[in-house]
Chains A and B, each alone.
Chain A
Amino acid sequence: MDYLAQQLINGLVLGSIYGLIAIGYTMVYGIVGMINFAHGDIFMIGGFIALITFLVLVSFGLTAVPVVLLIVLLVSMAITALYGWTVERIAYRPLRHSFKLAPMLSAIGMSFVLTNYSQVAQGARVKPVPPIITGGYTLHEGSRGFAVQLSNIQIIVVITTVVLLLLFTWLVARTRLGRDMRACEQDQTMAALLGVDVDRTISMTFVIGAALAAVAGMMYLLYYGLVDFFMGFVAGIKAFTAAVLGGIGSLPGAMLGGLAIGLIETLWSAYFSVEYKDVAAFSILIVVLIFMPTGLLGRPEVEKV
């Protein structure tokens, strides 16, 4: 029972990270109808930037943990957001009216560029960091000596995720930008005719998605203590699975899907087999897309003949 409780906690934390990445996928798919294959690598870049920023700050003698974390968060969000913006400008905008395969191949190409750019820039080896935040709380002392623990890092991840989720839900529901985004999702041409700056709205969607992915990258770094340049690929597919599971185009759906995937992956690794945990995630993607393509919270589409 305690083991299960621990796995649930771990799963929810991992799921929060996936959820943050998934939001980027779902927002972009909702507004331009494409899977941003490079988004997972944006997450990876976010992690790298967080790593480098952290390293530089520490070397300058900054040790106050909350200050360091805040600066790393802001810097990595800002720079990664710019990466997201640049990718959209260079690789997607010219192809917006082209046929289906072109932006997809362009996105795949961009994904390769980002992965190998990081590899070239930072060297191929995995970068470990010592635990930045340590300590936690023991929730329950089990009878067999197994204690259910909630680490500080886990608390931080969950709180950050909740705050950001609330912030961006407010953004989409209440602000002008959010309204523009929803308008573009439904009918781009009409939105443009009504004065919405479609280009800018789409760019902002990518920027926001990238910023959230950066947070996810930073959380990943803090939680697992390492970044490597291939982490984007697998995390990307899992996060996309989460987005589809939750219902593509739905923000709460993406987070819900993320939590679900995180839980499934953790429980699967704990109770079945660790080696095949990725296979479990990919299989879920296939199953969901075949049997439940609109996901949990999505809207069904009727084909017009």
Chain B
Amino acid sequence: MSDDRILDRILAVDSLAMRFGGIVAVNELSFTAERRKITALIGPNGAGKTTVFNCITGFYKPTGGTIRLTRDGADEIALEKLNDFRISKQAKVARTFQNIRLFPGMTALENLMVAQHNVLMRASGLTFLGLIGAPSWRAAEKHAIELSTFWLNRIGLLDRADDAAGNLPYGDQRRLEIARAMCTEPALLCLDEPAAGLNARESAALSELLLSIRAEQGTSILLIEHDMSVVMEISDHVVVMDYGVKIAEGSPQKVRDDPKVIAAYLGADEKEAIAVMESGT
């Protein structure tokens, strides 16, 4: 299914393949994500979505294909060749994890400060300026605290800034992880099941947060999600995977009504899905 739109692409995945020994987790996957838009990657469990994420963010080295990131007014970066931390640092791709990976023994504020490590390292003159307490360092630290405060406020955790991250309730932890990713000031934000385990009210707050991130920060978002209400509400573009391949791509409405997609989720085959749809459900 080719894409005829004129796109301002930020991410172009082309023929991505990932094998683990004899198992093919991802097979010839191609899709694009548009700048300043929210792209959702959905599919049944085991479809290979997190594997795709890990390839994009450099935790796995793909066995084939390319992943190209095009930053605003800048050149293309080949993500499939970079290390995980370089992708975050240089390509400005940030991510969250399926099983939240905060720093539980550090406070919420400290978590956000760690995210600004690279900026602060430069400002501290590789630590030496920091050791002597140079004014330029102090200013940079102050700015970092301000950015952290801004995001804590945005996610409604300002009054819990000094609490240990491990002590926060689940929903707050999820939002803190997103805030932490945003503190790296990314161009592309990759979220792995951000709504997992959230109730309806929290999901709605999450949707609102993501929409405002897109609007105010202009960050492009790529997310894996199972919660269809979130997907339908905020996505501009949806890519559907099953068994490691793409089975559909398009606007949320189009994808929702695609018999192949329904079949995949139901575990049935396409003909049965069409039959169910036509029987007037």
Contacts and interface: CB of A to CB of B under 8 A. Distances in A.
Chain B binds chain A: yes
A25 B20 CA distance: 30
A305 B59 CA distance: 8
| Contact residues on A (Cβ < 8 Å of other chain), bracket | under 10
B63 interface: no
Nearest to B53: A305
Contact of A302 (B20, B50, B97): B20
A305 B20 contact: no
Interface residues of B, number: 6
A302 B61 CA distance: 13
Contacts of B251: none
Interface string A294-305: 000000001001
Contacts of A302: 20
B45 to A, nearest CB: 15
A6 to B, nearest CB: 44
A305 B96 CA distance: 11
A92 to B, nearest CB: 26
Contacts of B20: 302
Interface in B75-102: 97
B231 to A, nearest CB: 23
A172 B221 CA distance: 52
Interface string B21-63: 0000000000000000000000000000010001000011000
Interface string A267-305: 000000000000000000000000000000000001001
A45 B277 CA distance: 75
A6 B54 CA distance: 54
Nearest to B101: A305
Contacts of A305: 50, 54, 59-60, 97
A66 B229 CA distance: 79
Interface in A214-245: none
Contacts of B50: 305
Interface string B146-170: 0000000000000000000000000
Contacts of B60: 305
Nearest to A303: B59
A305 B60 CA distance: 9
Contacts of B59: 305
Contacts of B97: 305
A140 B181 CA distance: 73
A302 B25 CA distance: 14
A305 B50 CA distance: 9
Interface in A76-98: none
Nearest to B20: A302
A305 B190 CA distance: 14
B203 to A, nearest CB: 24
Nearest to A305: B59
A204 to B, nearest CB: 33
B142 to A, nearest CB: 34
Nearest to A302: B20
A302 B23 CA distance: 13
Nearest to B51: A305
A110 B106 CA distance: 33
Contacts of B54: 305
A298 to B, nearest CB: 15
Interface in B152-209: none
B263 to A, nearest CB: 29
A305 B97 CA distance: 8
Nearest to B97: A305
A124 B60 CA distance: 55
A302 B21 CA distance: 11
A147 B20 CA distance: 53
A303 to B, nearest CB: 9
A302 B54 CA distance: 13
A152 to B, nearest CB: 48
B149 to A, nearest CB: 30
B96 to A, nearest CB: 12
A241 to B, nearest CB: 28
B55 to A, nearest CB: 11
A294 B97 CA distance: 27
A82 to B, nearest CB: 41
A302 B97 CA distance: 17
A220 B221 CA distance: 65
Interface in A49-108: none
B85 to A, nearest CB: 13
A302 B18 CA distance: 14
A302 to B, nearest CB: 7
Interface string A175-219: 000000000000000000000000000000000000000000000
B177 to A, nearest CB: 14
A137 B20 CA distance: 53
A143 to B, nearest CB: 53
A305 B98 CA distance: 9
Interface of A: 302, 305
Across the A-B interface, the 6 shortest Cβ-Cβ residue pairs: A305-B59, A305-B54, A302-B20, A305-B97, A305-B50, A305-B60
6 contacts: A302-B20, A305-B50, A305-B54, A305-B59, A305-B60, A305-B97
